[in-house]
Amino acid sequence: MKKSNILLIWSLAFASLFACAPKTEPMSTYPIIPAPVTITDASGHFTINKDVQIVLVGEKDAAAKAAEPLRLLLAQAGLEIPFGEDPNAQDVIIFELNPSLDIPAEGYQLDIEKRKVHIKGTDASGLYFAVQTIRQLLPESIEGNTAVEKLYLPAGSIQDNPEYAYRGMMLDVARHFFSVEDVKRVIDLISKYKINYLHLHLSDDQGWRIEIKSWPLLTRIGSRNEVGGGKGGFYTQEQYKEIVAYAASKFITIVPEIDMPGHTNSALNSYGILNPGITVPEKTAKPVDRGDLGITEPDDKATPYHTGIEVGFSTLDTDSPTTYQFVDDVIRELAEITPGPYIHIGGDESHVTALEDYIPFIEKAQAIVTKYGKKTMGWDEVAHAKLLPTSVAQFWAKGQNARMAIEQGSQILVSPAVKTYLDMQYDSTTQIGLHWAAYIELDDAYNWDPLAMDSLAFERKSILGVEAPLWSETVTNLEEIEFMTFPRLPAIAEIAWTPTANRSWESFSKRIAAHGKRWELMGVNYYKSPRVNWDGEAK
């Protein structure tokens, strides 16, 4: 044989060896966000191909809720993995749900060996979050629905659980309305970062967005507007239930908010009887055409639509018994369609409600929420009222209010506008968004600690969690939602999930670059922050 042929054969053999060789970089180098509590590397890898089976162990029905999303994800890559029965077989992915294991709530233990993947948890959420970790151990191509013969997972172990029980995002569907499909897309994207609450801001001065059967004009009139005077919209109760169920399938709980007693002009458009006599700022007022709706009775006290972004001019009539009947009906209907523990009553920026009226209003609203079996959330101003220990104050502006809530025995949800507000512009060149609180670049969103937000440090036990609100005065469609949310939401998610000692900007800024590649495959319109080298090595 000619020398050159031998060389060719050798080099072909060598090349094919490498073509088949899977990625075997250590598990700890994979760009997992939020960063897990501990990762232990091992050598080798697990191969996912058509011979692999998923096996459920322990509480099988609950485990299946987490296993099914993995099965669907792999099916997207052309790998149809069946369910099997034998946990002692080889080439299995075991989902074990066992409440007596020593694993904290929502946590998981993930062990990847050459012939077995073993996922353990004490609740289904933990197993689901393990699946999100596995997703990030798979190659980026998994996000692009590309069919493959096999996939590899690096061997090793991860022990993981969240630092905070509440890891949330808020979407304002009142200033601009977003469709059920848009909300589902947001749920898809945030669930990958182990977010477990989505707060929906369902009413504000510009629009009322949830059907309340006992007060039908709220949607017939109050929903037909948004910032800029667009047509607005609302969710029927059936659509809301569809959102709740979709979120639940991704282990996200919906927190509905009806903002009261301020931010209520859309209720006052619909029912003048709730109006103590407020007027809408003239330059943003748009008349309501009741005749066009076939409503013949005049309502002289009903206000015009508010199409601008001014805040703090509206209030419910806090002296009127009708107002409390209204609040009772709204909360009763909302509680009936909300399986989650919280109802948010707003309570922010009630600048035209006197404090002596505001306080009893909040206390009555809190009692109504309690009567319907739910816990109350409110923006930090609610701490002026007597809060129940089960109530949660959402700290957005004033540390003093947060401390007042804590002194009463309530927990706080940490959402400082200067760090977590997703509607804040990244810098002075950002085309959408506001900057009244701050410009928030990605490193600003990442480099802070919920325990040290105020001059008086908060105690760990006083903090329920962290939430990033996206207000929508300037955000009008899904592309803009994505642009303001990514990459900052993953930064907030890591603050809420990962212990402070495990977090560093240096590491996060490298890991997030790999997520940019995934978002491109998913068609996510993200902000390419100049603080990140997006073309850098994925790992």
Positions annotated as catalytic residues are 349
Quote the tokens at residue 497: 């999930």
Smallest gap from residue 197 Cβ to ligand TNX (A): 16
Smallest gap from residue 349 Cβ to ligand TNX (A): 5
Nearer to ligand TNX, 48 or 171 (CB): 171
DSSP letter for each residue of 99-153: TTSS--TT-EEEEE-SSEEEEEESSHHHHHHHHHHHHHHS-GGGGGT---S-EEE
Smallest gap from residue 212 Cβ to ligand TNX (A): 21
Nearer to ligand TNX, 165 or 434 (CB): 434
Q: Is the peptide bond before 487 cis (omega within 30 degrees of 0)?
A: yes
DSSP state, 210? B
Residues 466 and 503 sit within 8 Å (Cβ to Cβ): no
CA distances from 331 to 336, 342, 365, 370, 430 (A): 8, 11, 9, 10, 38
Smallest gap from residue 471 Cβ to ligand TNX (A): 3
Residues 416 and 396 sit within 8 Å (Cβ to Cβ): yes
Helices 321-336 and 355-371 cross at an angle (nearest 10°) of: 40
Residue 438 CA to residue 17 CA, distance in Å, equals 54
Contacts of 513 (CB under 8 A, 6+ apart): 31, 532, 533, 534, 535, 536, 538
Contacts of 75 (CB under 8 A, 6+ apart): 81
Smallest gap from residue 188 Cβ to ligand TNX (A): 24
What type of residue sits at position 148?
Answer: V
Nearer to ligand TNX, 57 or 434 (CB): 434
Smallest gap from residue 311 Cβ to ligand TNX (A): 5
Nearer to ligand TNX, 74 or 402 (CB): 402
Smallest gap from residue 438 Cβ to ligand TNX (A): 11
| Helix, strand, or coil (residue 53) | strand
Nearer to ligand TNX, 483 or 497 (CB): 483
Residues 31 and 511 sit within 8 Å (Cβ to Cβ): yes
CA 80 centroid distance within chain:
30
Angle at Cα 358 formed by Cα 354 and Cα 364, nearest 5°? 155
Nearer to ligand TNX, 160 or 473 (CB): 473
Smallest gap from residue 202 Cβ to ligand TNX (A): 13
What type of residue sits at position 62?
Answer: A
E strand segments, 352-402: 375-379, 392-395
Nearer to ligand TNX, 158 or 422 (CB): 422
Smallest gap from residue 218 Cβ to ligand TNX (A): 19
- Sheet of strand 83-84, all strands in order from the earlier edge strand to the far edge: 38-48, 151-160, 108-112, 116-121, 92-97, 53-58, 83-84
Nearer to ligand TNX, 396 or 483 (CB): 396
- The helix (H) or strand (E) run that includes residue 254 is strand 253-260
What type of residue sits at position 15?
Answer: A
Contact positions toward ligand TNX, by CB under 6 A?
311, 348-349, 379, 396, 421, 423, 434, 471, 473
| Helix, strand, or coil (residue 166) | strand
- The helix (H) or strand (E) run that includes residue 414 is strand 411-414
